[in-house]
Amino acid sequence: MAPLAGERRAELVTSLGAVRARIANACIEAGRDPHSVTLIAVTKTYPAADVATLATLGVLDIGESRDQEAAAKVAEVAEAQGHGAADERGPSLRWHFVGRLQSRKARSVATYAHAVHSVDRPELIGQLAAAVTRAGRGRLDVFVQVSLDGDPARGGVAGGGVLALADVVAARAQLRLRGVMAIAPMAAEPHRAFAELAAASAQLRVAHPEADAISAGMSVDLEAAITHGSTHVRVGTALLGRRSQVFG
């Protein structure tokens, strides 16, 4: 049974406070401004009601990893927020697509996403650019996903391929190259993985100084990611609870 709305809200208030404190502490330890880190709440498997509650708590960056689920949730949240007078509507959300993206989903994702964090091949870049034009929208933010373990199942381009891919993104007027993204390999020490990502980011910024964002860090390793310069942490479990479904 779904929890009562008030109970769920109280749960989210508590978990959000804890996550914000973790981010702030990690920033202090690293000598960084806590405002330099954007918290993306990864709401996959959780309902639109949780997104709406998080929005009222000031979390406006929402992450999803499957198009079908995301598209439905975006519509549901918009519908809920659309009722009532314009000045009563919730603040607008930024949807971040963080999962592996199949080419045939590019068109759909471009209709609602503010950013795609998982761009790892040239065909996808062309498809996203065309989809942005088709949607008649502003530029789509793009992160190039870097593979830190060479495991193709987790997505990402090997370190050496980052620059070439970034050049392809930067050449598209419909896209804005933001930086790099990675998921720390399960087996590896997170500090080592995130240091490797930081090096890829530094290399990228030589050619594209504006692409200074680093999307890294999840529930278990956000502190390590912040130590190594993460600007966007993607947090699911620590905010919303353990997912009952297994996600890739």
Ligand X SMILES: *Cc1c(COP(=O)(O)O)cnc(C)c1O
Out of 27, 37, 42, 74, the residue judged to bind ligand X by CB under 6 A:
42
Number of residues that bind ligand X (CB under 6 A): 14
Q: Is 106 in the site for ligand X (CB under 6 A)?
A: no
Min dist CB 181 to ligand X, Å, is 8
Min dist CB 216 to ligand X, Å, is 9
Out of 8, 44, 96, 114, the residue judged to bind ligand X by CB under 6 A:
44
Please tell me the distance from the alpha carbon of residue 207 to that of residue 65, in angstroms, as a whole number.
29
User: Quick one: 3 or 247, whose CB is closer to ligand X?
Assistant: 247
Out of 41, 99, 169, 232, the residue judged to bind ligand X by CB under 6 A:
99
Torsion of CA 20, 51, 70, 222, to 10 degrees: 10
DSSP line for 32-94: --GGG-EEEEE-TTS-HHHHHHHHHTT--EEEES-HHHHHHHHHHHHHHHHSS-GGGSPPPPE
Which stretches of the chain are assigned E, i.e. beta strand? Answer: 38-42, 61-64, 94-97, 113-119, 140-147, 157-158, 175-181, 213-215, 232-235
**Which 57-86 residues touch ligand X, going by CB under 6 A?**
65
For residue 128, give the 3-state DSSP assignment.
Answer: helix
Q: Is 128 in the site for ligand X (CB under 6 A)?
A: no
Please tell me the distance from the alpha carbon of residue 100 to that of residue 102, in angstroms, as a whole number.
7
Q: Is 218 in the site for ligand X (CB under 6 A)?
A: yes
Out of 182, 183, 197, 214, the residue judged to bind ligand X by CB under 6 A:
183
User: Quick one: 137 or 219, whose CB is closer to ligand X?
Assistant: 219
Q: Is 235 in the site for ligand X (CB under 6 A)?
A: yes
Binding residues vs ligand X (CB under 6 A):
42, 44, 65, 98-99, 183, 218-219, 234-238, 247
